[in-house]
Structure 1
Amino acid sequence: MAHVTKETTPQLERALTLRDLVLFNLVAVIGIGWVATAAKAGPSALTLWLLAAILFFVPQGLAVIQLSSSFPAEGGIYAWTKKEFGEGHGFVCGWCYWINNVLFYPTLLLAGAVSATYIIGQGESGLANNWTYVLPFTLIALTLAVMLNVVGVDTGKWLQNIGGVSVYLPGIFLILLGLYAALTKAPANTLTLVQLKPDLTNLPLLNLWATIAFAFAGLELSSTMGHEIHNPRRNLPRSIYIAAPLIALIYVCGTGSMLWLVPKQEINIVAGPLQAIANGMRDHGRVWWWVVPLAALCLTLARIGGLGAWLTGSARVAFVVGLDRYFPAAFARVHPRWRTPYVAILIQAPLAAFFLLLSVLGKGTTVEKSFLILLDMSLLIYFIPYIYLFICFVVHCWRRKRKTNERLLVPGGATGALVIGLCGLSITLFAMIVAMIPPPGTSDIWIHEAKVAGGSLLLVLLGLLIYWRAKRKQLA
């Protein structure tokens, strides 16, 4: 089957500018909650952030920059994998990317519901554990994100744009509060060079490093909309050059600020950023009472914007897989008025709602345990597209070196690409191994491992079965 190109793709609307892409990258990648998770581990988390940035974030960014500038196709990582390794590998990559995101949506929705409880009541209302609040909130947010992205990229992008601004403002405010505190009072935690050194023999800390590395994941998401971007060869790389340092700033400096403002043993992983902002404002009088509710509103909007971004990107992957006839042909439909892949977007709503119901209504039951196992499985599935990303990047650069004299965008040319790609690939494989480590208190480790690894394998095999049946139908 021919590669999907500009000529074979149904006409989509080119509505995304450089500004939209920068904000899209911010809301897709930044999860302000990762700052609290990292700070909880203490000052050594600052070193882990820097290691993750150098060993994973930079290689990821350079890989996406090179591939998106060379081949800015709709479907992004799916199209790149198919181009370099054929349709079978392309489908496995696209399937894993899509199914993982469907499982991930409830996490974003539930985090948004928790953030919203801090707008009124500082999170002490008990609503976060009340399904009569959580379920309507999350379903309304899901419906809003889906419908805005159906009615046109030019309309839907504003959800992501608002989310991009909303995720950044509390982060910057947290950094400014930390800077002011650093100039006026002692830190809440002891910060020494010895404490900055991570203990890499500590298993939980290794797990945290993998978590931190993948807090940086998501720069490839905007490239899935290659045919909906003005001048994608130019604007996709530029958006990463602009957004990447802004993302690293929030993670590294935000963690430093939180460590200065809140004792690590008191950090609330769920509400840590709001907790740190509240601590930072404590010395500034009651006139600033509105700051924490405003920050909570921003974080709630950021969660919904992040949901919109991942809905949008993963729908484009499903859309192009539908064009290739490996998903039902309905996935490839473009709305005649709004020029969006509306079926690929809409189909995610009932799937996300189903998994949301499992997590909310099944709380405290075997249903919840099953859903948590499903989430653990999705972690392994999540890493597979990044394996393809880095291998595609290396193969692409070396093929370009042999066939043309065109200058590569990565430092060091093809040799530099090999080093960069192997670096990112190593961290990805390491994260997969660490993700297999069961949480503390697991009664039967081997049963847990069998469920996670076996379940992940079953999801991949399900994808292969779908591919085999579609391929067989095409050849009939």
Structure 2
Amino acid sequence: MTATIEPGSAPAAEESAKLQRHFGRFDILFFLICTIVGVDTIASVAGAGGEAFTWMVVLAVVFFVPQALLFAELGSAFPQEGGPYLWTRMAFGHLAGAINNFLYWVTNPVWLGGTLAISAVVALQTFFNDGADFGTPAVLAISVVFIWVAVLAAVLSFRIGKWITTVGAFARFVLLGLFTVCVVVYASQHGVHGLGASSFLPTMGGFVALVGVLLFNYVGFELPSAAGEEMRDPKRDVPFAIARSAVASFLLYAIPILGILLVIPADNVTNFGGLVDAMKSVFTVFGGSVGADGTVTLTGLGQVVGDLGAILFVLCVLTSGVTWIMGSDRALAVSGYDGAAPRFLGVLHSTLGTPVRVNVFSGIISTLVLVLAQVITQGSAAKFFGAVLGVTISTTLVSYLLIYPALWKLRRTRPDVPRPFRMPYHRVLTVVLMALLAFTVVQLIAPGAPFAWFGDDYRPDGWKAGEAGLYLATELVPVLVFIGVGVLFWWLGAPTRRANAAAERAAHEALPVE
């Protein structure tokens, strides 16, 4: 392979030579399904009741689809390794690329060691421990194994690693398909809760509460492009995979959310165990019962199906983490050899072609997040979930504030680059995406602003009216710290930028004079 970052870039040429093209059309499709469909947040949406479904449909039209079109163009026009980092850097420079890429990357080890690991623990204790909480040592042991299995999967060459994400996609098909069938059977036996039409009416309070998690669920189309030089034919395959994964992902979200709303009253759906609780309830159609107090007991075949469902759930959350670590770690490694991060991180394994150093770095951060959160929350899984999910959503969505407008900028600065797919109405749709994103970031940091900041209809659960400043600091300070680390990474990348610039000058001077 030849370098595709910049002509004459010695580090890019050295690292790109280690890459192998193992990423085909359907590999990208299944990778995207694992990326976008996160079963850990399904209950967060369902807990808001019928209007959650309404807002999910609305945002699918005005956000999900335009975003798919945007990344179909960027991913097919600029199929270099490092995708989202490289697009931002080409459009806005190394400093913007460094800051944005750190925000994009740091989300994932925090998410892996936080919500994903604990979601897996909850599923296991619900089905294998009769719903009783594991002790803190057991939670830590299970979560550490979960984290490092994900890291090991990310370390593997795409020749092997792509099969892990394929298995993860099919685990979603089986789990959510089985759940949907059981919901229908359960409803025929026990009736439904009968959501009235009024419950689907959208409200501003509901929108503010839901927009963050819905947008978080809907992002990720760009992630396979972080491995752009490992794709067999990105110009053809990226638009194909994005179109099909968009349809599949929407259905995989919509159907189980409606199922939860039919099976469990919205007031009883928790962020943490809603989908798992609903699974346990509907699996009683195979054997078991639901007591008058809501206690679910599985017996016989019901217990077997429940155990299988728990394993599939763990596999789903594990592969969510694996795909995001695979993609974001590659983007960080590319920034390392492109001069927007320490050169030490910008090294690919000579035979695997994977960023092993960044993978291990991610695993260490995930483990630290896990241990610190368990200590800080004294083992409270629900508090742990809420705190980590808030930071995760904030940093993820902030990073897209520069990724989206990169398309508009590159249309102007690099108009001669062939574009196998062109986003229609790119100006209007990009403005819509940016407006929704900016509004969401404001709501995550200051709920209800500017019309009713921290008012009763907008204040997050567990917070009091006089704690607006504390909440603002809780959300804003980590983002500012991450931005500061991004600036530090840019500064540490200066020697690499100087070396790359010198190599480019030498290459141009060596060209024959006509």
Which residue of the partner structure matches residue 385 of structure 1? Answer: 399
Higher mean displacement: 378-387 or 279-288: 279-288
The structural deviation recorded for 1:474 is: 4.9
Which residue of the partner structure matches residue 273 of structure 2? Answer: 271
2:422 corresponds to 1:409: yes
Cα distance 1:408–1:309, how it changes in 2: closer, same or farther (>3 A)? closer
2:185 corresponds to 1:177: no
2:220 corresponds to 1:211: no
AA aligned to 1:3 is: I
Which residue of the partner structure matches residue 126 of structure 2? Answer: 118
The structural deviation recorded for 1:7 is: 4.8
AA aligned to 2:32 is: N
AA aligned to 1:396 is: L
CA distance in 1, matches of 2:467, 2:419: 55
Query: Matched residue of 1:318: which SS?
Result: helix
The structural deviation recorded for 1:249 is: 0.4
2:104 corresponds to 1:97: yes
Which of 96, 99, 117 is the matching residue for 1:109? Answer: 117
CA distance in 2, matches of 1:463, 1:221: 20
Considering only CA atoms, is the larger Rg found in Structure 1 or Structure 2?
A: 2
Which residue of the partner structure matches residue 452 of structure 2? Answer: none
AA aligned to 1:424 is: L
CA distance in 2, matches of 1:74, 1:473: 18
Cα distance 1:377–1:151, how it changes in 2: closer, same or farther (>3 A)? closer
Cα distance 1:2–1:161, how it changes in 2: closer, same or farther (>3 A)? closer
Asked if structure 2 preserves the Cα contact closer than 8 Å seen for 1:48 and 1:198, the reply is yes
CA displacement 1:390-433 (0-9 Å, x = unmatched): 21123334556x6589675323xxxx111211121111111101
CA distance in 2, matches of 1:392, 1:225: 18
Which residue of the partner structure matches residue 198 of structure 1? Answer: 202
Asked if structure 1 preserves the Cα contact closer than 8 Å seen for 2:342 and 2:489, the reply is no
Query: Matched residue of 1:56: which SS?
Result: helix
Which of 449, 456, 464 is the matching residue for 2:472? Answer: 449
The structural deviation recorded for 1:473 is: 7.5
Query: Matched residue of 1:427: which SS?
Result: helix
Which residue of the partner structure matches residue 304 of structure 1? Answer: 318
AA aligned to 1:452 is: E
The structural deviation recorded for 1:16 is: 1.7
Query: Matched residue of 1:144: which SS?
Result: helix
CA distance in 2, matches of 1:40, 1:49: 13
The structural deviation recorded for 1:4 is: 4.7
Which of 43, 49, 74 is the matching residue for 1:42? Answer: 49
Which of 489, 499, 504 is the matching residue for 1:466? Answer: 489
Which consecutive residues of structure 2, in runs of 5 or more, have no partner in the other structure?
A: 289-299, 448-458, 500-514
Which of 136, 143, 154 is the matching residue for 1:138? Answer: 143
Cα distance 1:365–1:33, how it changes in 2: closer, same or farther (>3 A)? closer
Which residue of the partner structure matches residue 240 of structure 2? Answer: 238
Which residue of the partner structure matches residue 460 of structure 2? Answer: 439
CA displacement 1:312-361 (0-9 Å, x = unmatched): 11110111011113322222222222222221222212122111110123
CA distance in 2, matches of 1:374, 1:256: 26
Which residue of the partner structure matches residue 157 of structure 1? Answer: 162
The structural deviation recorded for 1:179 is: 4.1
CA displacement 1:363-395 (0-9 Å, x = unmatched): 2399x9999767644433222221122211233
CA distance in 2, matches of 1:284, 1:41: 29
Which of 217, 222, 225 is the matching residue for 2:224? Answer: 222
CA displacement 1:45-75 (0-9 Å, x = unmatched): 1101101211221122111111001001111
Cα distance 1:406–1:96, how it changes in 2: closer, same or farther (>3 A)? closer
2:362 corresponds to 1:348: yes
AA aligned to 1:325 is: G
Cα distance 1:283–1:372, how it changes in 2: closer, same or farther (>3 A)? closer
The structural deviation recorded for 1:247 is: 0.7
Which residue of the partner structure matches residue 166 of structure 1? Answer: 171
Cα distance 1:292–1:196, how it changes in 2: closer, same or farther (>3 A)? same
Which residue of the partner structure matches residue 330 of structure 1? Answer: 344
The structural deviation recorded for 1:226 is: 0.6
CA displacement 1:156-185 (0-9 Å, x = unmatched): 223222222223322122223334456676
CA distance in 2, matches of 1:184, 1:58: 37
CA distance in 1, matches of 2:252, 2:196: 19
Which residue of the partner structure matches residue 59 of structure 2? Answer: 52
AA aligned to 2:265 is: P
Which residue of the partner structure matches residue 37 of structure 2? Answer: 30
CA distance in 2, matches of 1:231, 1:155: 19
The structural deviation recorded for 1:89 is: 1.8
Asked if structure 2 preserves the Cα contact closer than 8 Å seen for 1:73 and 1:227, the reply is yes
Which residue of the partner structure matches residue 305 of structure 2? Answer: 291
Which consecutive residues of structure 1, in runs of 5 or more, have no partner in the other structure?
A: none
Which residue of the partner structure matches residue 455 of structure 2? Answer: none
AA aligned to 1:468 is: W
The structural deviation recorded for 1:218 is: 1.5
Asked if structure 2 preserves the Cα contact closer than 8 Å seen for 1:119 and 1:294, the reply is no
Asked if structure 2 preserves the Cα contact closer than 8 Å seen for 1:378 and 1:456, the reply is no
Which residue of the partner structure matches residue 297 of structure 2? Answer: none
Sequence identity, in percent?
A: 21
Which residue of the partner structure matches residue 77 of structure 2? Answer: 70
Asked if structure 2 preserves the Cα contact closer than 8 Å seen for 1:170 and 1:299, the reply is yes
Which residue of the partner structure matches residue 282 of structure 1? Answer: 284
CA distance in 1, matches of 2:72, 2:441: 24
CA distance in 2, matches of 1:161, 1:196: 35
